[in-house]
């Protein structure tokens, strides 16, 4: 499936038969309503159904149709934030719990795949964090000391990286990491959820929530789901206007799938210490040609909506890949995804701050969406079942970490700076200046208009003001979308909402 920009959907989408699900066509009631059909929502729904709860899951697209399908599917408890930073923010006990929770999430994915007979290419592999200069080598030593302090003594410092072209300097070796095919897993998980009595409604967009003693999710078609408990697991909360969105920031991250000769790259996970960093792993080649493997490489992150030419990110990623992996051949896939970076490095999972006690959220994946999403399923299930969980305080969405105040201030000043777009001139003065397959912002009086020109040369106009908090969107040439630079809402070329926190479309262009 090819996009107008030349980006192709990630490998996960191909050759997977999703469960036969349909939109919600009536009003239903249940014990728990879960909104979001990615790994966090499906894991939560599945585990609660196994507990005997009547669970309804709503997804505006298809199962895995949001960010879960765009993951590179690293399964790791070697966290991007680095444990020497997490120890400063959460203490040794908090950092240890973070490490243990992600390790247990990998175990849970492995166990579910086994229990439900899900063939998802799950495999345990080693992970390697590499240094490429002396300064980074010192960071490896610092990280190793932090790992030893929290009791993860299996990690060792190796003199050489398994891929000589990646780095000639030492690396940290993390055992017992993992990888899998996310869409095969989600398909099997959805099937198992239905088998345990759950109900899934896809193509069902929630436009409003009424929360209280009983919670109600109201769809764009006017149908309702009433539930005793509500779980919103939509990458970023679409039920919140402000609070959580000030504590995390949206980033676009890029990935390519490159054909390499079979066994030319050791099967492992690889990360470097650049900023933004790169992450690499292998996947079985989906073309069926056993002479080759697929090398999946990600990186070149930037704030959503804050890069004028995002296609350059894919080009830089391919350039880096060919330097570090000279065996790389044809690029088969190119895509991007969106991650939310919490100000203190860990996800927000639990009761929604400022809401009723029976409303839960899962957000802030921080590049570890597969394990954070699985942690969400375990933790939220325990909270709903009124069981103690050792991770509850660590991931509490209402937590205030004064040690991360500097990062909080930086991210929110960045959001405030985007308001300058109201004062600038447009990118074009006339809709006819917008070329086919592209979008541009045009000033029209006191406001901004988003102009998209389709492949037939027809220009389409809508408001350029995001309905969430009023920021001006920008054109994403890789995904052919309008992206909000403040909180990460995304809209298709015609202004239809694709990703929250906005849950309504861009408005009409003012005449």
| Residue 393's CATH number | 3.50.50.60
Q: What are the backbone angles phi and psi of residue 109, rounded to the nearest 5°?
A: -60, -45
Q: Are residues 233 and 349 in the same domain?
A: yes
Return the closest-CA partner of residue 456 out of 442, 436, 476.
Answer: 436
Using CA atoms, how far apart are residues 364 and 11, in angstroms rounded to an integer? 24
The H or E element that residue 300 is part of is strand 292-303
Q: Are residues 360 and 219 in the same domain?
A: yes
Task: Please report the pLDDT score of residue 44 as a whole number.
Answer: 98
For residue 455, being part of any structural domain is answered with: yes
Q: Are residues 440 and 490 in the same domain?
A: yes
Task: Please report the pLDDT score of residue 387 as a whole number.
Answer: 97
Structure tokens at 370: 């597969």
Chain-centre distance of CA 131, in angstroms?
A: 26
For residue 297, being part of any structural domain is answered with: no
Q: Are residues 434 and 490 in the same domain?
A: yes
For residue 340, being part of any structural domain is answered with: no
Q: Are residues 55 and 199 in the same domain?
A: yes
Task: Please report the pLDDT score of residue 444 as a whole number.
Answer: 85
Q: Are residues 495 and 427 in the same domain?
A: yes
Task: Please report the pLDDT score of residue 428 as a whole number.
Answer: 81
Structure tokens at 492: 């298709």
Residue recorded with tokens 């969980």: 389
Q: Are residues 242 and 364 in the same domain?
A: yes
For residue 510, being part of any structural domain is answered with: no
The H or E element that residue 496 is part of is none
For residue 199, being part of any structural domain is answered with: yes
Q: Are residues 371 and 495 in the same domain?
A: no
Q: What are the backbone angles phi and psi of residue 12, rounded to the nearest 5°?
A: -65, -30
Residue pair 472/482 in contact (Cβ under 8 Å)? The answer is: no
For residue 323, being part of any structural domain is answered with: no
Boundary residue ending a domain (382, 410, 438): 410
Residue pair 279/270 in contact (Cβ under 8 Å)? The answer is: yes
Using CA atoms, how far apart are residues 72 and 2, in angstroms rounded to an integer? 19
Task: Please report the pLDDT score of residue 1 as a whole number.
Answer: 32
Return the closest-CA partner of residue 255 out of 307, 313, 302.
Answer: 313
Q: Are residues 352 and 493 in the same domain?
A: no
Q: How many domains does the chain have?
A: 2
> Cα torsion for 190, 340, 1, 317, to the nearest 10°?
-130
Instruction: Calculate ∠ Cα 402-407-408, nearest 5°.
Output: 70
Burial class (CB in 10 A: 0-12, 13-18, 19+), 254: buried
Spans of the chain below 70 pLDDT: 1-15, 240-242, 285-288, 401-424, 511
- Domain with 463, as residue range(s), is 423-499
Boundary residue ending a domain (410, 434, 452): 410
Burial class (CB in 10 A: 0-12, 13-18, 19+), 58: buried
Instruction: Give the CATH number for residue 486.
Output: 2.102.10.10
Q: Are residues 435 and 480 in the same domain?
A: yes
Residue recorded with tokens 């239903």: 28
Task: Please report the pLDDT score of residue 2 as a whole number.
Answer: 36
Boundary residue ending a domain (360, 379, 410): 410
Structure tokens at 466: 């995001």
DSSP per-residue string spanning 38-52: SHHHHHHHHHHHHTT
Q: Are residues 204 and 234 in the same domain?
A: yes
Q: Are residues 402 and 431 in the same domain?
A: no
């Amino acid at each position: 499936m090819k996009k107008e920009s030349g980006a192709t959907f990630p490998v996960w989408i191909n050759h997977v038969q999703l469960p036969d699900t349909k939109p919600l066509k009536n009003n239903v009631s249940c014990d728990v309503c879960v909104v979001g059909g990615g790994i966090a929502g499906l894991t939560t729904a599945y585990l609660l159904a196994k507990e005997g709860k009547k669970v309804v899951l709503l997804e505006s697209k298809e199962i895995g149709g949001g960010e879960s399908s765009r993951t590179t599917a690293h399964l790791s408890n070697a966290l991007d934030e680095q444990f020497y930073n997490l120890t400063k923010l959460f203490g040794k006990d908090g950092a240890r719990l973070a490490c243990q929770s992600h390790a247990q999430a990998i175990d849970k994915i492995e166990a579910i795949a086994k229990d439900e007979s899900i063939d998802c290419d799950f495999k345990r592999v080693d992970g390697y964090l590499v240094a490429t200069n002396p300064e980074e080598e010192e960071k490896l030593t610092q990280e190793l000391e932090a790992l030893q302090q929290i009791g993860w003594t299996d990690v060792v410092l190796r003199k050489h990286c398994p891929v000589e072209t990646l780095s000639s300097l030492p690396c940290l070796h993390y055992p017992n990491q993992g990888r899998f095919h996310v869409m095969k897993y989600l398909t099997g998980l959805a099937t198992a959820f239905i088998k345990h009595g759950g109900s899934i409604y896809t193509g069902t967009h929630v436009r409003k929530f009424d929360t209280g003693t009983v919670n109600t999710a109201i769809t764009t078609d006017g149908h309702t789901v009433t539930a005793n408990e509500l779980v919103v697991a939509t990458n970023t909360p679409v039920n919140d206007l402000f609070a959580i969105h000030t504590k995390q920031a949206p980033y676009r991250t890029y990935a390519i799938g490159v054909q390499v000769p079979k066994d030319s790259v050791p099967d492992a996970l690889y990360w470097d210490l650049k900023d933004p960093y790169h992450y690499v792993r292998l996947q079985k080649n989906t073309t069926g040609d056993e002479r080759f493997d697929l090398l999946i490489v990600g990186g070149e992150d930037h704030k959503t909506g804050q890069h004028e030419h995002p296609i350059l990110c894919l080009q830089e990623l391919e350039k880096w890949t060919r330097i570090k992996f000279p065996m790389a051949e044809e690029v088969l896939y190119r895509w991007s995804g969106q991650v939310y970076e919490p100000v203190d490095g860990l996800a927000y999972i639990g009761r929604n701050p400022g809401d009723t006690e029976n409303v839960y959220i899962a957000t802030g994946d921080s590049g570890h969406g597969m394990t954070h999403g699985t942690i969400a399923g375990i933790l939220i299930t325990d909270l709903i079942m009124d069981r103690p969980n050792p991770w509850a305080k660590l991931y509490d969405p209402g937590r205030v970490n004064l040690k991360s105040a500097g990062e909080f201030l930086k991210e929110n000043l960045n959001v405030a700076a985007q308001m300058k777009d109201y004062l600038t001139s447009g990118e074009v003065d006339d809709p006819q200046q917008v070329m086919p397959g592209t979008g541009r912002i045009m000033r029209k009086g006191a406001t901004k208009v988003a102009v998209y020109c389709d492949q037939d040369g027809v220009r389409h106009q809508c408001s350029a003001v995001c309905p969430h908090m009023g920021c001006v969107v920008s054109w994403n040439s890789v995904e052919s979308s309008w992206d909000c630079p403040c909180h990460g809402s995304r809209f298709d070329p015609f202004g239809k909402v694709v990703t929250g926190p906005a849950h309504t479309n861009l408005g009409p262009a003012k005449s």
